[in-house]
Amino acid sequence: QSCGGLSASPAVLLLRTADLFSLPFPLSRPLATSLSIQASLRGWRFLLLADRFPQPFRPPLTPHSRWKIQNSAEKLHRTLLERFDIKLEIQPDGQRRYFGCAKTTPRCFGTVHRQTPEYLLAGRWTPPCCLQALRLTARHAVAELESAGVRYWLEGGSLLGAVRSGDIIPWDYDVDLGFYREDIAKCRWLDAVAKTGRPVEDPDGFFWEKAAEGEFYRVHYSRTNRLHVDLWPFYVRPGGVMTKETWLGHRQDVEFPEELVRSRRVLGFAGGEAAAPRDPRGFLELKFGVGVVENPQYPNPEVRRLEEDLGGN
């Protein structure tokens, strides 16, 4: 059974005045939800009693009155969660509601410096709404590449996430896919961007463009929300080695034998499936080093280390 305290059911809360006003938002409405959230963050417990004060008799509400009350309660609830910077609400029936960024709004974090987004500096991981937008963008990009017959594979941290959990790494801020540069013409969106140099918005509102940083491409969640998938065009140089034109100095930015991606396998990723190198572990250890799958770390440990947020030294 679910507790009705958070749904503004009639309740009596007894607590010390000093405790109440020690909270950052002591009287924010709806009060029961507000106090429950703030108390849970402090480890406070509420004792729920079976009995309650009798309710006064009220005449039945008209359908319009019920709609007004429900609509007002929903607005208060949404405003409260936004005020508390809560991005995801899981309801009693398992449904998920996101209160953060959307296609029509900018993403929840600014520019990434030294491979470290601002939420990591604050000791947080990727906001749930941003992760969901990345999943949707990744699934869309994969579907477009596959339908066009483009030979692609999961790259870098995205492959790491697929191997570890079948999902995006919970502190990541983008998705990386490699593909054969000679296949650009197969995908109409990539082909249009490559030929004109101008971005293209597809019918689903995803925004394709050439990256300003070099010779690669991006698929953004939308024109406004710049959460994105990076598409890295690789080609084969003499000796059967895969290389590319742009190197950003990331740890995984290394050449590799074509045989590692000539044949590929399918892995679960971001709520769907995506192509990956035939030997994902071997590919990852070539790029990151031995033991990378079992030893997670933030993109730039010099700025912030995972152990800081897991209680380690």
- Cβ-contact 96, 232 below 8 angstroms: no
Rounded CA-CA distance 39/24 in Å is 11
166 within 8 A of 160, measured Cβ to Cβ: no
Residues 159 and 183: beta-carbon distance below 8 Å: no
> Is the bond into 92 cis (omega within 30 degrees of 0)?
no
In this prediction, residue 1 carries a pLDDT of: 45
10 Å CB burial of residue 258 (0-12, 13-18, 19+) is middle
How much is the pLDDT for 121?
93
Residues in the chain: 313
Q: Tell me, what's the pLDDT at 9?
A: 62
| The pLDDT of residue 125 | 95
Taking the C-alpha atoms of residue 278 and residue 263, their distance in angstroms, rounded to an integer, is 6
pTM of the model: 0.85
Q: Please identify every stretch of the chain with a pLDDT value under 50, giving residue numbers as ranges.
A: 1, 313
- HEC string of the chain equals CCCCHHHCCCCCCCCCHHHHCCCCCCCCCCHHHHHHHHHHHCCCCCCCCCCCCCCCCCCCCCHHHHHHHHHHHHHHHHHHHHHCCCCEEECCCCCEEECCCCCCCCCCCCCCECCECHHHHCCCCCCHHHHHHHHHHHHHHHHHHHHHCCCEEECHHHHHHHHHHCCCCCCCCCEEEEEEHHHHHHCHHHHHHHHHCCCEECCCCCEEEECCCCCCEEEECCCCCCCEEEEEEEEEECCCEEECCCCCCCCCCCCEECHHHHCEEEEEECCEEEEEECCHHHHHHHHHCCCCCCCCCCCCCCCCCHHHHHCCC
Q: Under 8 Å CB-to-CB from 56, ≥6 apart: which residues? A: none
Question: Which CA distances in Å does 19 have to 64, 116, 173, 176, 185?
Answer: 39, 37, 38, 48, 65
Q: Which domains are seen in the chain, by residue range?
A: 2-79 (no CATH), 118-308 (3.30.460)
Cα separation of the two ends of the chain:
41
Contact of 220 with 205, CB cutoff 8 Å: no
- Ramachandran class of 220: left when φ > 0, alpha when ψ lies in -120 to 50, beta otherwise: beta
Q: pLDDT value at position 3?
A: 55
What is the reported pLDDT for 99? 85
What pLDDT does 294 receive?
Answer: 96
Q: What is the pLDDT of residues 150-182, one digit of tens each?
A: 999 999 999 999 999 999 999 999 999 999 999
Bridge partners, 96 (sequence order): 90
